Amino acid sequence: MSKTILALDKVLPIKTLKGIRDYIPKVKFSYITLLDGGLEYLKEVYKLGWEEVIFDLKLADIDSTMVGIVSRLTSFSDSFISHSFIGFEGALDTLSSFLSKEGKGLYLVLSMSHKGWNDSFYPYLKDIARHVNPKGFVVGATKPEMIKVVRNDFPEKLIISPGVGVQGALFGDALCNGADYEIVGRSIYSSTDPVKTTRELVAKQEVRVNECKEVSENRK
């Protein structure tokens, strides 16, 4: 199974998703899927048996509001994504505690994939992350140096990387730089044949990762 997460920002037929599920182990929902598909659609997607279903709501509010949101979604989700800049006390402390009690994971955004993100805030975000001790982090695949930094600072945490494909990062490069999973959305769900495209992209990712391994071994 590939090291890919499907960013499902478009409602696709369940039959199509079953085909994609043969190649991709995890899926990530956004507000778009929640609004366009509704809860019943998300429940059907959840039943397909993914290794992990992540709600990417980019939570950024006070603790009671965030807990109120995730508590309505925990029955068909495994993890949630929150911004880290909102701070610990009165925000991420309570959210993290609640999700832990529910047996759910929390990912914190440390570096987004778009050009306008400012990585000079990273020292502050890193400090917040150490207080929260989440399941993992979101670091843009378009920021290979930041992936390396986060991997060095948090060697035991998962790193999931969006921005592969349409935003410019090449398939496999984030993995080569230390990410655990690459998040792919538009390249798949905008395709005329999402299952075929998934199969091709997964193969491309595998080739690139193997190339990186060969280069690394040759340097030893």
- Residues designated as active site: 58
If we measure between CA atoms, which residue out of 49, 67, 51, 71 comes closest to residue 59?
67
Quick one: DSSP state of residue 113? Answer: S
Q: What CA–CA distance (Å, rounded) separates 85 from 71?
A: 22
The per-type count for the chain, helices as H runs and strands as E runs, is: 9, 8
Residue partners of 75: CB distance under 8 A and separation at least 6 = none
- How far is C-alpha 154 from the geometric centre of its chain's CA atoms? 16
